[in-house]
Amino acid sequence: MSAMMSTGRDEATLREEIVGFGRSLFDRGLTAGSSGNISVRLDDGWLLTPTNACLGRLDPARLAKLDWSGRHVSGDAPSKEAFLHRAMYEERAGAGAIVHLHSTHSAAVSCMCGLNHHDSIPPLTPYFVMKIGRLPLIPYHRPGDPALGDAIRGLARKHCAVLLANHGPVVSGTSLEAAVYATEELEETAKLFLLLRNTPTSPLNAEQIEELKSVFKLDI
């Protein structure tokens, strides 16, 4: 794998961004304990949060750095989900960052029976369609199971985000800010989905989705 895309930001700035967004997500309760992980593409590899680290208290100097062959170059031991991030980068040349969380409402949806495996959350709002598009459900694997990488690989080319069954979302974006915003939109839509579970609802129809795709040049 190669870097494919220049990030245009220097590594020190990106390290600070990971720390800042991690703290913000943690402080707002979007992740708890040592759950979740964040990665960012560099020109000469990628940065990933260390395993068992609290996203609210990251140290920029201790973030794990990996090269494009998967070698751990520096920093603390990388997240056990490294292969999952790597599979997403390999399939999505435009991905600049990836966020994985156990955010409560998204994780709750990931535990529900009878989900549509191609669209685990319906297109309830335009912003969900614009930031996430369709959200496939990946069958349950234990955290750190390398088979998850292969499961993601099959879907990541077409989807910027996936939902891991009984676990939580994995969301990519062109930048870390974009990936975080998309993750937050997903979490809010998961909340709406749960709130509306016993209420007849009208998701966006095909024509409304086509309009969004055309106006906002969405590749979904």
Ligand X SMILES: O=C(CO)COP(=O)(O)O
SS3 content of the chain, % helix, strand, coil (to 5): 40, 15, 45
Q: Give whichever of 87 and 209 is closer to ligand X, judged by the CB atom.
A: 87
Strand order in the sheet with 37-42: 72-74, 64-66, 45-48, 37-42, 97-100, 168-173, 161-164, 137-138
If one asks whether residue 154 binds ligand X (CB under 6 A), the answer comes out as no
3-state secondary structure of 22: helix
If one asks whether residue 104 binds ligand X (CB under 6 A), the answer comes out as no
If one asks whether residue 72 binds ligand X (CB under 6 A), the answer comes out as no
Shortest CB 4 distance to ligand X, Å: 24
**Which member of 20, 56, 143, 154 binds ligand X (CB under 6 A)?**
143
CA atoms of 136 and 119, how far apart (whole Å): 5
Q: Which of 81, 87, 76 is nearest to 15 (CA)?
A: 76
If one asks whether residue 52 binds ligand X (CB under 6 A), the answer comes out as yes
Q: Give whichever of 7 and 37 is closer to ligand X, judged by the CB atom.
A: 37
If one asks whether residue 51 binds ligand X (CB under 6 A), the answer comes out as yes
If one asks whether residue 39 binds ligand X (CB under 6 A), the answer comes out as no
For residues 71 and 97, the answer to whether their CB atoms sit within 8 Å is no
Shortest CB 168 distance to ligand X, Å: 7
Shortest CB 49 distance to ligand X, Å: 6
Q: Give phi and psi for 187, each to the nearest 5.
A: -60, -45
For residues 186 and 132, the answer to whether their CB atoms sit within 8 Å is yes
Q: Which of 82, 118, 117 is nearest to 100 (CA)?
A: 82
**Which member of 79, 110, 183, 189 binds ligand X (CB under 6 A)?**
79
Q: Give whichever of 56 and 126 is closer to ligand X, judged by the CB atom.
A: 56
Q: Is there a catalytic annotation at residue 140? A: no
Catalytic residue among 89, 127, 140, 181: 127
- The catalytic site residues sit at 127
Point out which residues bind ligand X (CB under 6 A): 34-37, 51-52, 79-81, 100, 143
